[in-house]
Structure 1
Amino acid sequence: MKRFFLIFFIFAILFSKNSFAQNILEETLIYRGNLAFNQESDDPINGTVISKFESGQIKEKGNYIDGLRENEWREFHENGSIKSTINYRNGFKHGIFELFFEDGKLKGIGNYNNGNEQGNWQEFSNDGNFLYIGNYDDGVLEGRWQTFHANGRLFSMGNFSGNKKNGMWEYFDDKGKLFKIQIFENDLLIKCEGQCPKKED
């Protein structure tokens, strides 16, 4: 019986320590390289870390494992609504990223792969109109990109290759009328037709 109570007592202590460690203020952390530590320990941090606004509302919340950010992290607006969600793997952003307005509407969505933007990214106005649609490859602008006027109509459309504009880019006014065409080669403007900037003498 005494042995049973001793084991129970030990587990109770361990549980209470783990529960306490799951609520760590970000301001108490110190960083050595890319690892986070508690100021009172030489061990990398483990548990849930939060940061707060001056009002006391939670600003950001997520988990550290062995000093690195892991799994889902959430950032909040001061009114308590979610501002963004992102997953981490071994300290790097990895997976779907979502950004929200204070009223909860989706502001942007994209994807990370080991810390770099990857695949299709989109951003929206509060009215739900597109602001841009584009693609990344390992953090580099790649492929078709489109930007939009505030009313949702297409403003520009063209291609990136290795972070540089290449080929034909078309530009439209907020009524949908084409007003300019530009031709690029490795980000260098080769030709412009329509409403083009005047060349300086």
Structure 2
Amino acid sequence: MLYRTNKIRLFFFLFLFTSSFLYAQTNKTDEQGRKQGQWIKYKDGVKSYQGQFLDDYPIGVFYRYYPSGRIMSKSIFSQKGNKNRAEFYYDNRKHSLKAKGNYLEKKKDSIWLLYNETAVLVSQEQYDMGTAQGLWELFDYRGILVKETIYDLGKIHTAQKEFFENGQLQRLITFQHDTINGLFEVYFEDGQIRISGMFLNGLKDKRWTYYHADGSVYFIEEYSEGIILKRMDEKGNHFEMPVENDSIPLDIDPAEMKME
């Protein structure tokens, strides 16, 4: 019994000694107050982050943790901490990847990939020093592409495309620096054109043509900077909107109108 008690005491002593030794080797600063070597931080008794510093700059691999103890993020630092290759994880048992990409001077840069909890890619984004730049792609929960958007200096520019589940183009909207400007088209799921028109500085302009599913013209509208001038059939005769569409304002997206 005495032997067992002494053994427990020895184990406890070694534990305290080892813990003290390890703590002494971490969280150190130099004479100038700069962080050096390994640092481990705790919050409410749970590890918050762990990583290495050199002259106050993070270097190498850094981990941050959820209160559950699971890894929240993994970062690989270089260039005196200015460049960071980061991965973020969900707080679940599978340790599922949530997002990954680069930081440059603490700003998102180049390609970023975002995933749902079932590890399916749901978004691909491109940045230039924290500003949206280039092609962005949005996917549904199954990984099927639903939208493509091109950014220039943080603003939507050129054509934005939306897709049906079968991959067929559903809608095309032309932008110039965040403003709808240019060609606007809506399609049926089989690829047949449904609506075709133009925008000028966010307002409907010129001729808008609406089609039936069989490709024949349903009716035509003429606009001038958002103001409707006339509505007619394909022969130029005045067109009366059917009763089921009478209540639809002219300033909303007419893609929901019945055109079968």
TM normalised by structure 1 equals 0.71
Q: Deviations over 1:110-136 (max 9, x none)?
A: 311111111122111111111112321
Computing the radius of gyration from Cα coordinates, the structure with the larger value is 2
CA contact (8 A) 1:117 1:139 kept: yes
**2:226 paired with 1:187:** yes
* 1:19 alignment partner, one of 60, 84, 87: 60
Q: 1:110 touches 1:122 (CA, 8 Å); kept in 2? A: yes
Asked whether 1:91 is paired with 2:127, we answer no
Partner amino acid, structure 2, of 1:155: R
Name which structure has the greater RCO, CA cutoff 8 Å, separation 6+: 1
* 1:1-201 alignment runs, 5 A limit: 13-14=52-53, 17-21=58-62, 23-24=63-64, 47=84, 48=86, 50=88, 52=90, 56-193=95-232, 194-196=239-241
State the secondary structure of the residue aligned to 1:80.
Answer: coil
The 3 A distance-change label for structure 1 pair 175 and 117 is same
RMSD: 3.3
Cα displacement (A) at 1:51 = 5.5
Q: Distance in 1 between matches of 2:137 and 2:201?
A: 25
Instruction: Give the count of matched residue pairs.
Output: 173
Greater Cα offset, 93-102 or 155-164: 93-102
Closer, same or farther in 2 for the Cα pair 1:49/1:24, shift >3 Å?
Answer: farther
Report the CA distance shift for 1:13/1:25 in structure 2 as closer, same or farther (over 3 A). Answer: closer
SS of the residue 2:59 aligns to = helix
Q: What percent of counterpart residues are identical?
A: 18
How far has the Cα of 1:181 moved from its partner?
0.8
Letter in 1 for 2:88: I
Q: CA deviation at 1:67?
A: 2.8
Compared with structure 1, are the counterparts of its residues 64 and 49 closer, same or farther at alpha carbon in structure 2 (3 Å cutoff)? farther
State the 4+ residue runs in structure 1 displaced beyond 4 angstroms.
Answer: 12-15, 23-27, 53-56
Q: Is residue 26–residue 50 contact of structure 1 (8 Å, CA) maintained in 2?
A: no
CA positional deviation for 1:66: 2.5
The one-letter code of the counterpart of 1:127 is: N
- TM-score, structure 2 normalization: 0.57
Q: Following the alignment from structure 1 to structure 2, what is the Cα–Cα distance between the partners of residues 154 and 131?
A: 9
Structure 2 match to 1:38: none
Q: Are 1:25 and 1:50, in contact at CA under 8 Å, matched by a contact in 2?
A: no
One-letter identity of the residue aligned with 1:132:
R
Equivalent position SS for 1:19: strand
The offset of 1:168, in angstroms, is: 0.6
Matched letter for residue 189 of structure 2: A
Partner SS, residue 190 of structure 1:
strand
Q: Which amino acid aligns with 2:90?
A: K
Is there any run of 5+ residues in structure 1 with no aligned partner, and where?
1-8, 28-43
Q: What secondary structure sits across from 1:133 in the alignment?
A: strand
